[in-house]
Structure 1
Amino acid sequence: MTDPTDELDLVDALAQLSFLVQGVFAGLAAEHDMSPIQARLLGVLRDREPTMNELGRHLGLDKSSISGLVDRAQRRGLVERTVSADDRRVVHVSLTPAARATVAAAAAAFAERIEALTADVSESDRRALVRATRRILDADPAWLG
């Protein structure tokens, strides 16, 4: 029997891998009663406290969309806004302590699921995949990581 992955070219392989990872991510978000974009918001805020403008760039959303997303997250007690001490027109967004615990648990669950999916991948192939992925991401100046 032919292995279907033998028929994949680079583009198809990356697209299918992306769909798989995004599916895992979306499923995990749904388990926490969130949309994927809400989960991405919390993921971005895990490591930084960006301004609303920076947050919009990270998520690829315009000003009105990011405002609505942050408003909904704030009503759920997941994020808080803080006016900058240097410029009162600038607002920073950060996770609440409760959201920080949720994000930590979700990140651990995500890592566990990805580990399960890659259990049969050798350590050398894992390292090669990480190196190749880093090169791809570094080649895109718009990537905000």
Structure 2
Amino acid sequence: MVQGIYARVSERHDLTPVQAKLLCLLLAGPRGMAELAHCFGVERAALTGLMDRAERRGLAQRSAVPGDRRALQVTLTDAGRQAAIAFHAEVSAELDRLTSSLAPQDREHFRTVMAEIIARRRASSAASW
């Protein structure tokens, strides 16, 4: 159900679900290509095509990492930031509608539990990275 929402909203924003994920990941700030590859579960080389398309559309850009001439970092352009914010807001609204029929305390319990699951997943992923 959540993936369906993600796909429909990304289509309405003229993004693929993978491009939308990339933009949302970059909302927190620049990320290295190796870190992004890890987030997507692919090799760095496989991320190159995604980045080529994002750059052609003016959504993101790669730049050298100071002090490491082999490494690249990825940042959002202004257009990419606007697209990411709009996408994220619409997905959040759609997801809020899913829980709107719950009592307020049940909705808060659901959010708390999901936040804990996400935090543990991120911590586990960061530790393995």
TM-score (norm 1): 0.79
Q: 1:135, 1:49 → 2: CA distance?
A: 25
Q: Deviations over 1:98-125 (max 9, x none)?
A: 1111111111111221122221112211
Count of residues in Structure 1 that have an aligned counterpart in Structure 2: 125
The 8 Å contact of residues 83 and 90 in structure 1, kept in 2 or not, is answered as yes
Q: Deviations over 1:24-83 (max 9, x none)?
A: 111011112221111101110111211100011112121221111111111111101110
- Unmatched 5+ residue regions in structure 1? 1-19
In percent, how many aligned pairs have the same letter? 33
Kindly name which structure, 1 or 2, has the bigger radius of gyration based on alpha carbons. 1
TM-score (norm 2): 0.88
Per residue, is there more strand in 1 or in 2?
2
Identify the residue that residue 137 of structure 1 maps to in structure 2: 118
The 8 Å contact of residues 137 and 143 in structure 1, kept in 2 or not, is answered as no
Counterparts of residues 6-85 of structure 1 (less than 5 Å): 20-85=1-66
Higher relative contact order (CA 8 A, sep 6+): 2
Q: 2:49, 2:60 → 1: CA distance?
A: 13
Give the aligned CA root-mean-square deviation in angstroms. Answer: 1.7
